Amino acid sequence: MNKVGHKPVLIGITLMSLLGFFGYELIIKWTVKMLPNKTVYHPIKYVRIEGVFQYLSKNEVQVAVQPLVMKGIFEVDIQEINSTVSALPWVDSVIVKRIWPDAIDIKIYERKPFARWGEKSLITEQGVIFTPSDIGPFNNMILVNGPEMQQAKVLEIMKGIKTALADQAMELKEFNVNNRDAWKIKLSTNLEVLLGRNEQLKKLQRFLRTLDILKQEQVEQMALVDLRYPNGYAVSWKLGAPEIDWRAVTNPTIQ
């Protein structure tokens, strides 16, 4: 029923293997088969899809577009095709053109996920939230939770925290902002840090500076750090963590 250009598909497969994470360039062209006994003036015979895809399936696009192109070249609704393709979760933007005398050209730009948003969605670096059918392959991405309609602000804060932690060789795993604007982060080591509602970045920087006087194994024994104090913080330790001699930590000259 559908004819796919062999050469473009082979190019797409080759580029996919070469580019890996960066996606592959795909150009496909399929033949539109009109319904029996249906007479259409200047029917559309071909649909061409072009784009650099990593996650978007060509079949997904074809299924969405097929019912919309069973018309003549002048009757087809270009805006309807644009809206239908744009509604696909992985589509960032699309350009649809009529190509005389019998073709439709669709250029698609795919979304690039930057982090997870909540339990079911992803978010781009520009703050666009979208929900693919399966986000399982993205479980290694940072999980971000925040109030609705504030995702752009939350994302920018997360980027700053991620950078501050990276300077200390720490990796951010989760960033949460609740409806009361209280922040909480979780590191890749599963250490949780409560930042509260006020001066959160200032408190985080103060906490990170204090880590210079601790040994790496002592930091790794922390289970939870509560920074919601004006002049200090509280630490909950992992079960079985050895007791720390804080006098020796704060004054190394004490024997």
Please tell me the predicted confidence (pLDDT) of residue 69.
92
Round the CA-based radius of gyration of the chain to a whole number and report it.
Answer: 27
Same domain, 118 and 101: no
**Sequence-distant (≥ 6) Cβ neighbours of residue 39 within 8 angstroms:** none
- Tokens read off for 28: 């496909």
Q: Can you tell me the distance from the alpha carbon of 178 to that of 181, in angstroms, rounded to the nearest whole number?
A: 5
Supply the CATH number for residue 184's domain. Answer: 3.40.50.11690
Please tell me the predicted confidence (pLDDT) of residue 25.
66
- Tokens read off for 103: 């073709």
Please tell me the predicted confidence (pLDDT) of residue 216.
81
Q: Which of 54, 81, 110 is the last residue in one of the domains?
A: 110
Q: How many domains does the chain have?
A: 2
Q: Which of 110, 132, 158 is the last residue in one of the domains?
A: 110
Please tell me the predicted confidence (pLDDT) of residue 148.
82
- Tokens read off for 122: 């992803």
**Sequence-distant (≥ 6) Cβ neighbours of residue 192 within 8 angstroms:** 184, 185, 186, 223, 224, 225
Q: Can you tell me the distance from the alpha carbon of 114 to that of 123, in angstroms, rounded to the nearest whole number?
A: 6
Chain segment 155-213, per-residue pLDDT in tens:
999 999 999 999 999 999 999 999 999 999 999 999 999 999 999 999 999 999 988 88
Does residue 1 form part of some domain?
A: no
Same domain, 105 and 122: no
Same domain, 104 and 118: no
Burial of 56 (0-12, 13-18, 19+ CB in 10 A): buried
Specify the DSSP element, H or E, that contains 104: strand 103-110
Q: Which of 77, 94, 110 is the last residue in one of the domains?
A: 110
Please tell me the predicted confidence (pLDDT) of residue 240.
80
Please tell me the predicted confidence (pLDDT) of residue 133.
92
Q: Which of 131, 158, 130, 134 is nearest to 144 (CA)?
A: 158
Same domain, 92 and 200: no
Chain segment 188-198, per-residue pLDDT in tens:
999 999 999 99
Q: Can you tell me the distance from the alpha carbon of 62 to that of 140, in angstroms, rounded to the nearest whole number?
A: 30
Local structure of 151: helix, strand or coil: helix
Q: Which of 11, 38, 39, 37 is nearest to 25 (CA)?
A: 11
Same domain, 195 and 121: yes
Please tell me the predicted confidence (pLDDT) of residue 40.
67
Please tell me the predicted confidence (pLDDT) of residue 254.
54
Supply the CATH number for residue 35's domain. Answer: 3.10.20.310
Same domain, 125 and 218: yes
Beta carbons of 49 and 84 less than 8 angstroms apart: no
Beta carbons of 42 and 102 less than 8 angstroms apart: yes
Same domain, 191 and 74: no
Please tell me the predicted confidence (pLDDT) of residue 13.
30
Same domain, 63 and 79: yes
In the chain, which stretches have pLDDT less than 50? Answer: 1-22
Q: Can you tell me the distance from the alpha carbon of 230 to that of 146, in angstroms, rounded to the nearest whole number?
A: 24
Does residue 55 form part of some domain?
A: yes
DSSP symbols for 7-67 = HHHHHHHHHHHHHGGG-EEEEEEEE--PPTT---SSB--EEEEEEEESS--HHHHHHHHGG
- Tokens read off for 139: 């479980």
